[in-house]
């Protein structure tokens, strides 16, 4: 999950960016976003101190008391390598932005297509760290599969089927336990039943007997697994 920190003193601009982030998540489900919004740069900096930094920052440049460039400098002083996007009505701060290694600008009023492109650029820059992949043996040969695109793995008879975020089903003869050995280092994966591995990023709901996945598919939950699954899901989602 990609964590986005948005800081802008105008509530209308925050609402627009939140709407664009929700739209982006629906259009690109392989890149789930979690957004936190702040109307004050001091609130953002306090949140960073208490809960850690973000993967991407969207910072309004013109804010009272502390501008976006100042906030970006404090982020860099922490040693963060996050992507920085500035929200501005002009490009007059280009030199200062270069000094904090900004990823780019979003000119107000921000357009949806510009938001999408800049976010994709940031995600690409984060890819080596934030979008790892595994190599999977399939009938067609070896396939490189990004962690974020794996929705779930189903085990039937003597084969496993990986369901991807675009709806593709990739079959492999690799055992479920071997697959989980590759995936268990990522906290988003869990085994709710002996025949399934699920990506918690794609879970829409949870009951004592089943998981509801994005798209409506239901996955059974073993009775003795439910308490651990509930704890893992709540910890991961919140």
On the question of pLDDT at 93 being above 80, the answer is: no
201 CB-contact burial (10 Å; exposed 0-12 / middle 13-18 / buried 19+) = buried
**Nearby residues of 100 by Cβ (< 8 Å), 6 or more positions away:** 69, 72, 73, 75, 76, 84
What percentage of the chain exceeds 90 in pLDDT? 50
Give the whole-number percent of the chain exceeding pLDDT 70.
Answer: 93
pLDDT at res. 80: 84
**Domain-by-domain residue ranges, the chain?**
2-130, 147-237
Q: 154: part of which helix (H) or strand (E)?
A: strand 150-156
CATH superfamily of 147-237: LytTr DNA-binding domain (2.40.50.1020)
Type and span of the H or E element at 171? strand 169-172
Chain segment 102-112, per-residue pLDDT in tens: 788 888 999 99
Domain 2-130: CATH superfamily is Response regulator (3.40.50.2300)
Provide the CA 78 distance to its chain's centre, in angstroms: 22
């Amino acid at each position: 999950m990609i964590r986005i920190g948005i800081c802008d003193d105008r509530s209308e601009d925050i609402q627009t960016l939140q709407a664009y982030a929700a739209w982006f998540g629906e259009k690109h489900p392989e890149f789930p976003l979690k957004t936190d919004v702040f109307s004050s740069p001091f609130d953002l900096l306090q949140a960073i101190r208490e809960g850690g930094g973000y993967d991407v920052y969207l910072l309004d440049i013109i804010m009272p008391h502390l501008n976006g460039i100042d906030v970006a400098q404090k982020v860099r002083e922490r040693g963060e390598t996050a992507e920085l996007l500035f929200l501005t009505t002009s490009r007059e701060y280009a030199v200062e932005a270069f000094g904090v290694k900004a990823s780019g600008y979003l000119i107000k009023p921000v357009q949806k297509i510009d938001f999408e492109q800049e976010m994709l650029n940031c995600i690409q820059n984060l890819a080596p760290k934030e979008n790892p992949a595994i190599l999977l043996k399939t009938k067609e040969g070896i396939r490189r599969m990004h962690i974020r695109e794996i929705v779930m793995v189903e085990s039937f008879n003597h084969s496993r089927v990986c369901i991807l975020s675009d709806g593709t089903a990739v079959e492999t003869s690799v055992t479920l336990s071997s697959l989980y050995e590759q995936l268990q280092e990522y906290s988003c994966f869990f085994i709710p039943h002996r025949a399934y591995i699920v990506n918690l990023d794609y879970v829409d709901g949870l009951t004592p007997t089943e998981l509801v996945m994005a798209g409506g598919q239901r996955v059974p939950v073993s009775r003795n697994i439910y308490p651990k699954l509930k704890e893992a899901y709540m910890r991961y989602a919140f």
